[in-house]
């Protein structure tokens, strides 16, 4: 099942990435800000892919009788 802590983890990573992006852009390091944004997107996508894998595993075990 979907654990509410995973939603909070995704939110925390998102907030951290936004803060880092703003800090890096104001200091004039736009290239590093872009790399940070892409890294954050990859981390969040890996979390979501893990959840989707768990969902498909649960559906698979449900229909195996």
Which pLDDT tens digit goes with each residue over 2-54?
A: 678 888 999 999 999 999 999 999 999 999 999 999 999 999 999 999 989 98
In this structure, how many other beta carbons lie within 10 angstroms of the beta carbon of residue 23? 13
Q: Is the pLDDT of residue 1 over 70?
A: no
What is the C-alpha separation between 31 and 37, in angstroms, rounded? 10
Q: Is the pLDDT of residue 65 over 70?
A: no
Cα-based angle 13, 14, 15 (whole degrees, multiple of 5): 95
**Tokens 């509410």 sit at which residue?**
4
The pTM of the full predicted model, rounded to 2 decimals, is 0.77
């Amino acid at each position: 099942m979907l654990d509410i802590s995973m939603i909070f983890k995704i939110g925390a990573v998102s907030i951290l990435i936004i803060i880092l992006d703003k800090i890096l852009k104001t200091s004039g390091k736009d290239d590093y800000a872009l790399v940070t944004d892409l890294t954050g997107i990859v981390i969040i996508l890996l979390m979501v892919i893990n959840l989707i894998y768990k969902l498909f595993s649960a559906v698979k075990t449900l229909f195996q009788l």
